[in-house]
Amino acid sequence: MDGENILLDSGLGSDVDDDFAPFVYENDPTLPDERYLDRELSWLAFNQRVLELAEDPDVPVLERANFLAIFASNLDEFFMVRVAGLKRRILTGLAVPTNVGRAPVDVLADISEKAHELQERHAAVYQDLIKPALGEAGIEIVTWERLDEGDRTQMREIFSQRIFPVLMPLAVDPAHPFPYISGLSLNLSVRVRHPKTGKEQFARLKVPPMLPRFVRIDQRESVDQMRFIALEDLIANHLGDLFPGMEVLEHHIFRVTRNEDVEVDEDETENLLQALEKELLRRRFGPPIRLEVTADMDEVTLGLLVRELDVSEQEVYRLPSPLDLGGLFDLAKIDRPDLHYPTHVPTTAAQFMPREPNAKPDLFAAVARRDVLVHHPYESFATSVQAFLEQAASDPNVLAIKQTLYRTSGDSPIVEALIDAAEAGKQVLALVEIKARFDEQNNISWARKLEKAGVHVVYGLVGLKTHCKLLLVVRQEQGKLRHYSHIGTGNYNPKTSRLYEDLGLFTSDDQVGKDLTRLFNELSGYAIEKKFKRLLVAPLHLRKGLLKRIQTEAENAAAGLPSGIRIKLNSIVDEAIIDALYKASEAGVPVDLWVRGICSLRPGEDGLSSNIRVRSVLGRYLEHSRVFSFVNNGDPQVFIGSADMMHRNLDRRVEALVRLTDASQISELDDLFDVAFDDGTSTWWLDAEGTWTRHSKNASGEPLEDLQNRLMHHISHRPRSGGRR
């Protein structure tokens, strides 16, 4: 999902972890037992923050509709992966206590209670806030009952010509067993009665997912005045055409969420691609784990669905229509600039600007002069990462290109550049992670296309996902080979690069080049590299490296030396890292955590975390970069990379952090933290009880500064020549 969809997860990708096995970490008896926040409830709290953006009247209304859709999409993935996985482990007897030591069956009950509350709140935001606000802006979503006869005539014609031919009513009777209900599909349950025999029957009608969810009523209306009707509402009012001669008694909407996680035993398969494709087919038939029904569904129909789908009362969600507000993604794309965030055009990084007017930029020359740190989407992905790879593909002096691909986009210029390089005779290695959740089929397609073009495609290490974002170019210069490297925090995806906040380092440093060469050899061959100079690499060294640096800060604080830790990431769950931060805090180290999603650490608790602050920033862009900064007695060590502080990232993924050495870049990231933790910046604050409180207005009721808007303005007004700040 993370690849093509615009998610504030998991992945936005989603950052919904699939690991329920505990990290083998020896409990520290000097710390209190109840020192962690429940990770599942913390994730739901994150999605609640997304919902709060939809509730905010200061956010443009089509963006609020988009946040409603993001909330729905995020929650779907949470159920498909986290809830489904937890239920599966309970049923198979493999469940283990959660990160807070609670029985999984109790956590499932907590999740259900909170999810019911949030889904009801989500529906209320749509009905009471967003729908009226859209109507005031000239975008009305109306019901069939509100249409006049002229509108109905037009809709009947649209139905008969565009919708009726693709509908497939499925009866349920002795000759027709209860049909398979695909995951996340929107369906009509229909009860009909034969007029002569009086016999009642049930039928299921799937709302075609390839048709627009909201049907435009009158195309002649201007863009400033638009009316829509939900597709399922239109279909429901033409059931007589689908069941001629029958009396339609009841019709209701329902939706099923299934376990759609994928499991492949890499140790037992000889062909990972074929095994994964087979598993993707099986994914469609995972067991149901949530049934959403409209609040007016009759008990007879509900009883039939519960029985046939084998769901519990806890798994039934009664909600006002419309269900599946993810359909609002379509409406959020309406071309009304006045109802969207102001357009932002990414700038080209100053170092990548041509040195002479009308000259073509030479990115190799720029990187050779000094390291370049780019900040997306404020700075352009197209004129940095994409241009760098395209220049490498066409440069006759480039001999080899090596790159990891975790998620990329359709018609990706990144993939095309790799193909061009291979066809030009260069050595090209692409490490494609085909197990990137919900992007598996897409990545399989890219892998085969790359192989066909002559690219050396590998799939990483058995048992590990390759999540690091690495690009290495080997270039011949004056009879010698020179390495040009890019290490990023985000995927090589031109589409999400316009929506995800990420950092990327370009460097010609020979040591980084050698580190990446060794790492790529490890990923594509049988090398086991134990040491890197400027990289911290998981699963072998990253955890140890971070724990060592946290311990150093604690020792410095105890000795009265300058100390401090600042970390920006998507999620923090890992017990060993959290406990180390607790101990550093109580040794006197000021710790700032900038967390987008899950946070299992309790901040601000006396005797445990009194020196730890936790903030969260959500907005028009998905905060996605990971930064690890240590004061180190005045000689700061700052890393950027792809890893969150979760078991999967530290123990079952190949991750890489690179250390920054340019003082101006280190200063720039420090300034970024200063703004994020300034009381005048709009953020959410986490307390020791796990409650996130939004701080968006000052004492006078005026909006606090939006960090992302500030960055957009600051970076777009930088001098176009010279350095960064």
**Active site amino acids:** 467
Coil, helix or strand for 360? coil
Which class for 64: exposed (0-12), middle (13-18), buried (19 or more C-beta within 10 A)? buried
d(CA 519, CA 686) in angstroms, rounded, equals 37
Which class for 101: exposed (0-12), middle (13-18), buried (19 or more C-beta within 10 A)? exposed
Residues linked to residue 594 through DSSP beta bridges, in sequence order: 568, 615
Give the distance between the most distant pair of CA atoms in the chain.
92
The dihedral formed by the CA atoms of 28, 30, 32 and 33, expressed in degrees to the nearest 10: 30
Residues linked to residue 500 through DSSP beta bridges, in sequence order: 622
Q: How far apart are the first and last CA of the chain?
A: 36
232-243 burial, b if ≥16 CB within 10 A, otherwise e? bbbbbbbbeebb
Residues linked to residue 193 through DSSP beta bridges, in sequence order: 200, 247
Cα–Cα distance list, 319 to 252, 260, 324, 327 (Å):
12, 23, 10, 16
Contact 10, 82 (CB under 8 A): no
Contact 316, 119 (CB under 8 A): no
Coil, helix or strand for 362? coil
Q: Which two tokens stand for residue 287?
A: 């067991």
Coil, helix or strand for 550? helix
The single-letter code of the amino acid at 685 is: W
The dihedral formed by the CA atoms of 21, 26, 27 and 28, expressed in degrees to the nearest 10: -150
**Closest of 303, 195, 196, 192 to residue 254, by C-alpha:** 303
The count of C-alpha atoms lying within 13 angstroms of the C-alpha of 68, restricted to the half-sphere facing its C-beta, is 34
377-404 burial, b if ≥16 CB within 10 A, otherwise e? bbbbbebbbbbbbbbbbebeebebbbbb
Contact 217, 149 (CB under 8 A): no
Beta strand 622-623 with 535-538: parallel, antiparallel or unpaired?
Answer: unpaired
**Closest of 12, 2, 17, 13 to residue 652, by C-alpha:** 17
| CA-derived radius of gyration, the chain | 27
